[in-house]
């Protein structure tokens, strides 16, 4: 069987890179955000929100993704905070995906700032794997104005691990024969999907490196970590992964967005702010596509890699950001068991063309007003930039009434 060739492309500090690029378009002298203590988060003047991304300089000051801005600003008083701008992120992400698609039709967008390419059938058109990846990396920097890391291997897991090696703006290989030298000496926490809770359990078992994990008896792992999860990370530690590169389903079947945080989110209000940002992006894409949705789904993953989702069918089709967000908050409230969150996603499905939708005999006047308002906001942002209009809930963090944090934990300072 022919060995597969997989690339994993990961944008370096995507949100900060894309925000900085947008600033330089308006002011060529604008400082590079990756060279100063900077973060993407909520409103620094009101000290609300959480850190969604941070620069290397901010990281050196102890700032971590997912922590409250109040905590980050105590650690780093000179932290420059910029509001999230998902219109800019979506635009740059789309540009990246379009360029990647020219290298292979078999592409899977893994998140807004990373993707897998199956180059098995097309590499002969370009040259040697490492040389081709380096050319692609250079093209992205020259043509799109930001940098990426590219990992190269025979499966998705190893390609993703390789892309996390030395950063930024690098290409790395991690083929099966390179695992003992390049992967096994790494700390076990560097292995994909080994979270904080699993690290603690593995440490108690004397497992410190990925190599230790690879050599551990599978039955012993499963007795401590569970049958499914224990088997999965044991396979990963040995570089085993046969999952295919799966192109995203056609947009007419659904529109979604998700974000993975490098630090756990345990506070319900913080989780709601993330849902609002995701709902903004999904709602804007929904309206741009000319569709309305009848179903909203919230997906979540906890620190122990447990995935779950919850969905709700709406009483009538909508493209309202507020309706999507309010529904998402309700779904998360019902879904979340309090375990620390690592991923949140919002997805809308059952899409209808507006001209073909079945009109309600009693359409909601409030819903119609909200949809008109959303479209007006879209038009203003399209003309003047995403920062021209901000929702009050983003500025003041006044979220819908919610019960106490389901985890029963107070906000910690990380």
d(CA 240, CA 144): 34
For 60-69, b where at least 16 C-beta lie within 10 A, e where not — what string?
eeebbbbbbb
Active site (annotated) includes residue 114: yes
The three-class DSSP label of residue 73 is: helix
Tell me if the bond preceding 168 is cis, omega within 30° of 0.
yes
Please give the angle made by the CA atoms of 52, 58 and 64, to the nearest 5 degrees.
Answer: 45
Torsion angle defined by CA atoms of residues 358, 360, 365 and 366, in that order, rounded to the nearest 10 degrees? -70
Q: What is the DSSP letter of 3?
A: P
Q: Is 404 exposed, middle or buried (0-12, 13-18, 19+ CB in 10 A)?
A: exposed
Q: Centre a 10 Å sphere on the Cβ of residue 224 and count the other Cβ atoms it contains.
A: 15
* Given 22, 114, 280, 371, the catalytic residue: 114
In the block, residue with structure tokens 């890179």: 17
Question: Across-strand partners of 115?
Answer: 9, 109
φ and ψ at residue 110, rounded to 5 degrees: -85, -30
For 26, the token pair is 């308006």
d(CA 173, CA 239): 13
115 neighbors 108 (Cβ within 8 angstroms): yes
Spatial CA neighbour of 175 closest among 389, 375, 5, 410:
5
Report the sign of the C-alpha dihedral through residues 235, 229, 308, 11, in that order: negative
Q: Which residues are catalytic?
A: 114
């Amino acid at each position: 069987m022919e060995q597969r060739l997989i690339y994993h492309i990961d944008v370096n500090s995507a949100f900060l890179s894309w925000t900085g690029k947008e600033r330089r378009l308006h002011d060529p002298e604008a400082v590079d955000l990756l060279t100063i203590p900077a973060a993407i988060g909520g409103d620094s003047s009101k000290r609300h929100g959480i850190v969604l991304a941070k620069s290397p300089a901010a990281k050196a000051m102890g700032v971590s993704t997912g922590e409250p801005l109040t905590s980050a600003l105590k650690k780093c008083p000179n932290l420059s905070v910029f509001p999230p701008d998902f219109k800019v992120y979506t635009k740059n992400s789309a540009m990246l995906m379009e360029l990647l698609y020219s290298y292979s039709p078999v592409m899977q967008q893994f998140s807004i700032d990373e993707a897998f390419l199956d180059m098995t059938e097309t590499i002969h058109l370009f040259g040697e794997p490492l040389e081709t990846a380096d050319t692609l990396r250079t093209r992205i920097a020259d043509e799109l104005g930001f940098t990426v890391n590219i990992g190269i291997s025979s499966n998705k897991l190893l390609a993703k691990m390789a892309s996390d090696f030395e950063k930024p703006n690098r290409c790395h290989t991690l083929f099966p024969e390179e695992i003992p030298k390049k992967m096994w000496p790494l700390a076990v926490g560097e292995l994909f999907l080994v979270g904080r809770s699993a690290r603690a359990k593995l440490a108690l078992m004397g497992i410190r490196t990925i190599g230790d994990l690879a050599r551990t008896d599978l039955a012993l792992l499963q007795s401590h970590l569970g049958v499914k999860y224990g088997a999965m990370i044991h396979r990963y530690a040995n570089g085993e992964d046969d999952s295919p590169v799966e192109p995203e389903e056609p947009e007419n079947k659904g529109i979604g967005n998700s974000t993975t945080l490098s630090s756990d989110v345990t506070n319900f209000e913080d989780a709601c702010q993330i849902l609002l940002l995701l709902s903004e992006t999904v709602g804007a894409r929904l309206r741009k596509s000319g569709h309305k949705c009848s179903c909203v789904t919230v997906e979540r993953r906890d620190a122990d890699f447990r995935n779950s989702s919850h969905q709700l069918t709406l009483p009538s089709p909508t493209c309202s950001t507020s309706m999507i967000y309010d529904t998402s908050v309700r779904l998360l409230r019902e879904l979340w068991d309090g375990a620390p969150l690592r991923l949140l996603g919002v997805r809308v499905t059952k899409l209808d063309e507006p001209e073909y939708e079945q009109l309600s005999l009693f359409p909601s006047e409030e819903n119609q007003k909200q949809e008109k308002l959303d479209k007006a906001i879209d038009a203003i942002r399209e003309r003047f930039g995403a920062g021209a209009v901000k929702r009050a809930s983003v500025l003041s963090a006044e979220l819908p009434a919610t019960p106490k944090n389901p985890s029963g934990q107070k906000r910690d300072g990380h």
